[in-house]
Amino acid sequence: MTTGGQPPVQPVQAYPTGEPMRPHRGVLILVFGILGLVCCVIFGIIAWVMGNGDLREMDAGRMDPSGRGLTQAGKICGIVNVALTLVGIVIWILMLMAGAFSGAMAR
């Protein structure tokens, strides 16, 4: 049935393979990403890895895509966490080198 000259809406097939989709883990990934920023870098790494895997599964149609935004946010928190940690490590190493160099120059 058409109204106003518009073609009928075709239903979208939710499960292209016929298998049920796995539930998303967006909330868990977001919590891990936030814990990585607040608490410990390992949570950020876990959020980044899990986020990559889950987004790949969503793109393949094997995971519920309704949690894509939460998954992306958690992955981004994980990436930011790892980047800030690496910057902190580089600054720490530079400070150690500067301290060692200034100590050697004072002798």
51-61 tens-digit pLDDT: 999 999 999 99
pLDDT of 48 over the 50 cut: yes
pLDDT of 2 over the 90 cut: no
3-40 tens-digit pLDDT: 566 666 544 345 555 778 899 999 999 999 999 999 99
Say what the pLDDT of residue 9 is: 52
SS3 string of 33-61? HHHHHHCCHHHHHHHHHHHHHHHHHHHHC
pTM of the model: 0.76
Secondary structure (3-state) at 63: strand
pLDDT cut 90: percent of the chain above it: 71
Averaged over 85-90, what is the pLDDT?
96
CB–CB of 95/68 below 8 Å? no
**Regarding predicted confidence, which is higher, 67 or 107?**
67
Look at 8-12, 24-28, 68-72, 79-83 and tell me which has the smallest mean pLDDT.
Answer: 8-12
